[in-house]
Amino acid sequence: PADTHYDGEGRITVGGVALADIADQYGTPTYVLDEGEVRARCRAYRTRFPDAEIIYAGKALLTRAVAEWITDEGLSLDVCSAGELTVALSSWTDPARIVLHGNGKPFAELETAINCGVGRIVVDSLTEITLLSALANRPQRVLLRVTPDIDVHGHPALRTGVTDQKFGFPIGGQSVFEAVERILGQPNLEFAGLHCHIGSQIYDTFPYGEAVRRMVAEMARIRDGFGVTLTDLDLGGGHAVAYRGGDAEMNLAELSDIIEDSLDAACARHGFPRPRIALEPGRAIVARAGVTLYRVLSVKHVENGHTYVTVDGGMSDNPRVALYGAHYDAVVVNRHPTGPEMTATIAGRYCEAGDILARDVRLPADLRPGEVLAMPCTGAYHHSLASSYNGVGRPPIIAVRDGSARELVRRETIDDLMCRDIGH
């Protein structure tokens, strides 16, 4: 991987800490998170988008420490459940800077969100609009989620901009007007603006320019229909990161330019005052700050087939390969690879043939059981998507910074798993 650093002894370090030492101290599998990298990505967004609000999508990875770092760097936070909200509030995130999302928000969770004073709620159904107003005891700011009818490349499970799907109201249609009418008719709702999220792992800037043009046109249509001028436009997240060397990545400078240019043009065209822009990156903030450490359990050369390197983790700590066909790279942590190499498939330990972590990875030909592999770019949607499949507890998260390591989330033990099973 491009950003791998070897120390004088040929060991890989992240945040000034040798990954081999983390594996020895905390065991494997383990998620390692580079605090400096998370903060640097937050700053990159703040610098590139000085006029926009950057709302970190907590679904990518949320722990109390992560919430603190992103708050400290001036970001707001997007949560999509009472659980994420609780993590955020327990790390003193200002509720006013929290945005609540979801196409199906359970009654109790809406109540919790309103009671703790979340700044904005993105509404996604007519039922929710009425319910919210009934629950709110002071004006609650809301955004309306709209699908801008933009189909981006990428995995079908991540394409959220198209019309026929569970999220949002189709742009330009009658149902948006019904929702607007419903919001405006509620005494306790303050209608701040529109929201869209066109998909995830998008490296093209063009769809974002298109989203801006369409969403501003929709805001103008709402102004013309109802006489209200919305002030906020939230463009969602979805900015791609490079999982492996050579992969494409979203260029933030270009993204900023296209959003600005499209905004200027669309606002001029519709005579619409410039809205406040918000962006909701999740993956782009944390993905590349994460590395997962695995210990090699066996190396098996299958006759007339592949070489399988089985490690002590797999689909429960990284379901992204099975879910989205994602690709990863891996590297040995304790020696600079100089000798002969082999091409191997890295297999997980779980009882499914599909439990593969990476295919066609170049590894030292003499790789031995007991050696530690690092899989880069595993900071987003790994810990948050992890399960305890096959009765294996979830890995810990170890933060590294300025040469020292500390535990943010401890390993899930068998006792943790047992304590929910209350028996007969």
Q: How far is CA 358 from CA 205, 344, 346, in A?
A: 28, 8, 5
CB of 37 to ligand LLP, least distance (A): 16
Q: Tell me whether residue 310 or residue 316 sits nearer to ligand LLP (CB atom).
A: 316
What does the alpha-carbon distance between residue 395 and residue 221 come to, in Å, rounded to a whole number?
Answer: 49
CB of 326 to ligand LLP, least distance (A): 7
Q: Which of 196, 267, 351, 419 is catalytic?
A: 351
What does the alpha-carbon distance between residue 194 and residue 212 come to, in Å, rounded to a whole number?
Answer: 11
Residues lying near ligand LLP in the complex (CB under 6 A) are found at: 57, 59-60, 78, 101, 158, 197, 200-201, 236-239, 280-284, 320, 324, 381, 385
Q: Tell me whether residue 22 or residue 77 sits nearer to ligand LLP (CB atom).
A: 77
What does the alpha-carbon distance between residue 270 and residue 215 come to, in Å, rounded to a whole number?
Answer: 11
CB of 214 to ligand LLP, least distance (A): 17
Q: Quick one: which H or E segment has residue 54?
A: strand 53-57
What does the alpha-carbon distance between residue 117 and residue 152 come to, in Å, rounded to a whole number?
Answer: 35
Q: Tell me whether residue 147 or residue 200 sits nearer to ligand LLP (CB atom).
A: 200
CB of 104 to ligand LLP, least distance (A): 13
SS (H, E, C) 316-377: CCCCHHHHHCCCCCCEECCCCCCCCEEEEEEECCCCCCCCEEEEEEEEECCCCCCCEEEEEC
Q: Tell me whether residue 223 or residue 359 sits nearer to ligand LLP (CB atom).
A: 359
Q: Tell me whether residue 120 or residue 197 sits nearer to ligand LLP (CB atom).
A: 197
Are the C-beta atoms of 196 and 169 separated by less than 8 Å? no
CA geometry: angle 185, 81, 210, nearest 5 deg: 65
CB of 225 to ligand LLP, least distance (A): 25
CB of 159 to ligand LLP, least distance (A): 11
What does the alpha-carbon distance between residue 261 and residue 133 come to, in Å, rounded to a whole number?
Answer: 37
Q: Tell me whether residue 60 or residue 67 sits nearer to ligand LLP (CB atom).
A: 60
Are the C-beta atoms of 347 and 308 separated by less than 8 Å? yes
Specify whether 377 is catalytic.
Answer: no
Answer positive or negative: Cα dihedral of 167, 168, 171, 173.
Answer: positive
What does the alpha-carbon distance between residue 404 and residue 361 come to, in Å, rounded to a whole number?
Answer: 30
Q: Say if residue 22 is exposed, middle or buried (CB neighbours under 10 Å; 0-12, 13-18, 19+).
A: buried
CB of 149 to ligand LLP, least distance (A): 17
Are the C-beta atoms of 123 and 183 separated by less than 8 Å? yes
Q: Tell me whether residue 91 or residue 200 sits nearer to ligand LLP (CB atom).
A: 200
Instruction: Specify the 3-state DSSP secondary structure of 109.
Output: helix
Q: How far is CA 234 from CA 55, 208, 285, in A?
A: 9, 11, 17
Residues with active-site annotation = 351
